[in-house]
Amino acid sequence: MLSRPDAAYSSNVADTIVSVLPKSHLQESNNSFKPLYKFYRHLPYEEFDDLCYEPESKLETETLLDPIFPGGYKKLHPDDLSIANYPITAEYIESFGKFINASKSRISVGSLSQCAATFEEITLRSVPGLRIYPGILTPDVQRQLLVNVIEEYLPQETHLTNLHPSYILPQPFQLFGLPPGTIIPPSDTALAAATPTTLGALQERKLRWVTLGGQYNWTTKKYPTFEPHTREFPDFPISLSTLLKGASAIFKDGINPEASIVNFYSDGDILSPHQDIAELSSADLVSVNLGCEAIFFCGLAKDKMPLQLRVRSGDIVIMGGESRFAWHGIGRVWDKTAPDYLAGFDYYEHVENGKIPANVASGRKQYGQWMLSKRINLNVRQMLDT
């Protein structure tokens, strides 16, 4: 759960760390996350890429891990990293197909059996319970998930966004259902200084998050209710639940998906260090990554240097065991790093239209271009202890 208001995001790479981190963090002399945010704030992607191959033995990079090229991390921490390989089973491949079939707007796919024969599981002694699965989601699954976020999860009336308190959104809310210049008026409850905006501005940076299932209250930092099948705890999307439950080879302890924060990041955005403690359950947190690359921080204590993990589109990171309540955050997002199979895909031609309105189908022409500068993270959790 995000333990800070939406303002904790940096909307400009030039913003100082003071503007994006709560003062309580800055006043702690033993906050080991703080110098990392400063380090990555202006770091060009090319330098970041080089450091991932050859991390330097210094404060800012000594815990930097690229799961695709872990050699540099192993050199600095030879006894910390473990990598296990597991076979991709026919049942797991079938679960991808079930996810696509459970989606309301299905993409046309190739042969799902052509995915890799094995997948990797990376674990670390320094962060017990953290499990990293690089590239576990196939391109078809990632594209379908993107379509679902835009056309299935965002439009649902009970799925609130950071925009709802400030604007009168078109209903159902289709992010690409109208021309970008469409005026979005402020809501009656918005601040007096609120002014109209455009749909294009919502697409570019103003849309920050949407909540699925249990509707976390960003002001009280709590869930308003733990009573399922209510307006504030609506049923979790079937398609996303199908995907997560089907990946039983990964979720060893199992998870009943009941809530998710879907974050939308742009270039330079960060997420300040926090813990997810609002749920009644201590079941694993599941983090699914789409789009542009980012650096993810995760550590058991704020006064110790956290793991710095490079995350790419298709990666899944699971926080379980001791890492379930670890401090974690995002130190930087780099635009133009989304894979071509996601950003260069023709969603208009390859999605089965069915009964989708013409304006929604036409809006699909913008999805790929939009993903060039976006990172979407679906952080899924179980709310109840049953």
pLDDT tens profile 359-373:
999 999 999 999 999
- Structure confidence at residue 250 (pLDDT): 65
The fold of 6-162+208-381 is Jelly Rolls (2.60.120)
- How many residues belong to the chain? 386
Model confidence at 241: pLDDT above 70? yes
Instruction: Identify any residues that bridge with 198 across adjacent strands, giving them in sequence order.
Output: 183
Q: Is residue 305 classed as helix, strand or coil in its secondary structure?
A: coil
Model confidence at 98: pLDDT above 70? yes
Chain position carrying tokens 């990041």: 265
The lowest-confidence range among 85-99, 110-124, 215-229, 333-347 is: 110-124
Of the candidates 100, 120, 116, the residue with the CA atom closest to the CA atom of residue 108: 100
What does the domain layout of the chain look like in residue ranges?
Answer: 6-162+208-381
Model confidence at 10: pLDDT above 90? no
pLDDT tens profile 258-294:
999 999 999 999 999 999 999 999 999 999 999 999 9
Q: Which helix (H) or strand (E) holds 50?
A: helix 45-53
- Structure confidence at residue 308 (pLDDT): 98
pLDDT tens profile 162-201:
999 999 999 999 999 999 999 999 998 777 667 899 999 9
Q: Is the peptide bond before 172 cis (omega within 30 degrees of 0)?
A: yes
Model confidence at 246: pLDDT above 80? no
Chain position carrying tokens 């690359």: 293
Contacts of residue 173, defined as CB under 8 A and 6 or more positions apart, other chains included, come to 154, 155, 161
Q: Is residue 76 classed as helix, strand or coil in its secondary structure?
A: helix
In this structure, are residues 333 and 375 in contact, taking their beta carbons and an 8 Å threshold? yes
User: From CA 92, how far away is CA 290, in angstroms rounded?
Assistant: 20
What predicted TM-score, i.e. pTM, was given to this entire model? 0.90
Cα Rg of the chain, angstroms: 20
Relative to beta strand 285-291, strand 375-381 is antiparallel
In this structure, are residues 319 and 128 in contact, taking their beta carbons and an 8 Å threshold? no
In this structure, are residues 161 and 209 in contact, taking their beta carbons and an 8 Å threshold? yes
Model confidence at 249: pLDDT above 80? no
